[in-house]
Structures are given as C-alpha cells and as structure tokens.
C-alpha cells in the first residue's frame, strides 16, 4: 500500500464524511425554512378576532377561523370515538390472545392500512355515509379520520402491551384473578402511558389531514349546529384560502397554518413529556 494511496483513502473518507454532514443539513433545513416563514407570515394575522370570528364574505377584510378551530376539535373527538376503542381493543387481542400464526397477518394488514393514502379513506366515508344520507357531515369526516386512526392505535397499543413483563401477569394469575381482569386492571394499567402516547401521536397525525375531509366534512363558512351538517376544519380552511386569489385570505391561511402546527406540535410534545416521564420512572 503506497502512501499516495493511503492519502487518497483519507481524502476520500473526509470527503464522504463531509457529504453526509451536508445530507443531514439539507434534510433539516426545510423545517427551519418552514418554521421561519410560518412565523413571519402568520404572526401578523394572528389576533383576537382570528380566534373568535367567523370568516367574512369575499372581499371584506378581517374575520377569523373560529369555526374551523372548533371544527377540528370536534372532528378529532369523533375520530377518537371510532379509532381508540377499536384500535385499543384490537391491540389487546394481538398481544394477549390469538394464535401467533394469524396475528402475523393482522399485523401485516394493519401496516398496509397505515400506508393507504388518506384520500381513499375520504372516498370510503363518502360512499358509506355521505351518499346514503345525501349530505356532507361531521360524522362522515370523523369517520374518515377514525379509519386512519384504527390501524395506527392498534399497532402502537400492541407494541406497548407486549413490553409489559410476563412476571406481572404470572403474579396476578397466581392470585386467582380472572384473565380478563388481569388484562384490564393490571396489564393495561401498567402500559397506560405508552397507550396514551400512541393515541396522542395518532391524533397529531390526523389533526393535519385535509384530503379525507374534502368531501366528507366539506367545510362550512358558518357555525355547524349539528353533527349531520358540513363542518369547518382548520386544514380545509387553510387549503381553501391558500388557493384563493385574495391576499387577505392568504394571510389568514398562514395564521391558520401557524395555529395548526402549534396544535400538532403540542400533541407530539405531550408525547415527549409522557415518554420522558416513563424513562425517569424506569430508572428508579
């Protein structure tokens, strides 16, 4: 091995290392860019009326996204009603019951469902609810989002439950506690932080979903008085305003985006706080 070649190898090593650093920088920069622009464009339009008023008609300045913010919260609630029970109980089944042979297929299926484009869930909810009832509604929007939640919560729940040590199950069995009570009161209780984490993560994911709501919740310029009416949602409103030709609406779209990303980050920071808590407890 000549020293020339060694020099070349060292140079190549340094070059590649530099390249990888560059990759990391490039990957991280979009986040910096988008946060920067969100803050710059959005902060200006954030004021009290933004949070409390309804959208004004086209051409009139001002107005807000109050109904969209409330609508997002309502849709999240409806989605959880669908997604959490089914996902949680399904995860319990995979972890505590079932034969390993079939469970592999259920897991595989859930993983594939997690990759289905969200607009397809919108089409499903449309065919299932909007068509028979001949109206767009919060119900259909919540259902579409709930469809997305089910496989998500199922997988995270199962992953957490499997981590509960078998020693606790054994100890409970030896006390003569029925199996289902063991699952409910001991296993689920031990895993509760992880389960909540999974649910919060799923909520953070669906809070930003627009496509499934385009033809289910549909959006509303006014307050919805009933869940069977079309309902406004933050991502929908941002989309509508963004593609409109009005500058004022553009500014409000940025403000709405700021609020939305704040909501999403809150949900995932909640996750981080909970899991940091868990790490501390485990260290004890």
Tell me which of 101, 176, 225, 279 binds another protein, using CB under 8 A: 176
Could you tell me how many residues of this chain bind another protein (CB under 8 A)? Answer: 114
186 binds another protein (CB under 8 A): yes
Residues 58-77 contacting another protein, CB under 8 A: none
Stretch that binds another protein, among 15-23, 48-56, 63-71, 221-229 (CB under 8 A): 15-23
Lay out the site mask for another protein across 221-260 (x = CB under 8 A, - = otherwise): --------------x--xx--xx------x--xx--x--x
278 binds another protein (CB under 8 A): no
Residues 115-174 contacting another protein, CB under 8 A: 115-121, 123-124, 126-128, 147, 150-151, 154, 161-162, 164-174
Closest approach, Cβ 156 to another protein, in A, equals 14
Nearer to another protein, 80 or 182 (CB): 182
Lay out the site mask for another protein across 71-110 (x = CB under 8 A, - = otherwise): --------------xxxxxx-xxxxxxx-x-----x-xxx
Nearer to another protein, 74 or 200 (CB): 200
Q: What is the 3-state secondary structure (H, E, C) of the chain?
A: CCHHHHHHHHHHHHHHHHHHHHHHHHHHHHHHHHHHHHHHHHHHHCCHHHHHCCECCCCCCCECCHHHHHHHHHHHHHHHHHHHHHHHHHHHHHHHCCCHHHHHHHHHHHHHHCCCCHHHHHHHHHHHHHHHHCCCCHHHHHHHHHHHHHHHHHHHHHHHHHCCCHHHHHHHHHCCCCHHHHHHHHHHHHCHHHHHHHHHHHHHHHHCCCHHHCCCCECCCCCCCCCCCCECCHHHHHHHHHCCCCHHHHHHHHHHHHHHHHHHHHHHHHHHHHHHHHHHHHHC
Tell me which of 39, 43, 58, 112 binds another protein, using CB under 8 A: 112
């Amino acid at each position: 091995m000549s020293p020339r070649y060694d020099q070349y190898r060292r140079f190549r090593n340094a070059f590649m290392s530099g390249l990888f650093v560059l990759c990391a920088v490039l990957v991280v920069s979009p986040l910096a860019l988008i946060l920067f622009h969100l803050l710059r464009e959005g902060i200006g339009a954030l004021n009290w009326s933004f949070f409390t008023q309804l959208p004004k008609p086209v051409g009139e300045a001002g107005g807000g996204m109050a109904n969209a913010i409330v609508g997002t919260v309502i849709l999240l609630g409806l989605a959880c009603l669908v997604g959490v029970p089914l996902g949680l109980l399904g995860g319990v089944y995979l972890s505590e019951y079932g034969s390993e042979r079939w469970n592999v297929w259920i897991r595989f299926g859930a993983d594939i469902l997690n990759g289905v484009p969200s607009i397809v869930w919108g089409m499903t909810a449309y065919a299932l609810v909007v068509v028979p009832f001949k109206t767009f509604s919060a119900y259909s929007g919540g259902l579409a989002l709930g469809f997305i939640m089910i496989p998500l919560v199922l997988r995270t729940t199962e992953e957490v439950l499997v981590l509960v040590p078998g020693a606790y199950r054994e100890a409970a069995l030896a006390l003569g506690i029925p199996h289902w009570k063991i699952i409910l009161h001991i296993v689920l209780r031990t895993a509760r932080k992880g389960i909540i984490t999974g649910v919060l993560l799923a909520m953070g994911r669906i809070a930003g979903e627009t496509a499934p709501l385009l033809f289910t919740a549909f959006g509303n310029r006014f307050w919805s008085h009933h869940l069977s009416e079309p309902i406004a949602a933050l991502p929908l409103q941002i989309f509508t305003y963004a593609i409109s030709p009005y500058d004022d609406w553009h500014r409000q779209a940025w403000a709405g985006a700021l609020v939305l990303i704040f909501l999403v980050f809150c949900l995932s920071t909640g996750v981080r706080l909970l899991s940091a808590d868990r790490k501390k407890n485990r260290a004890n």
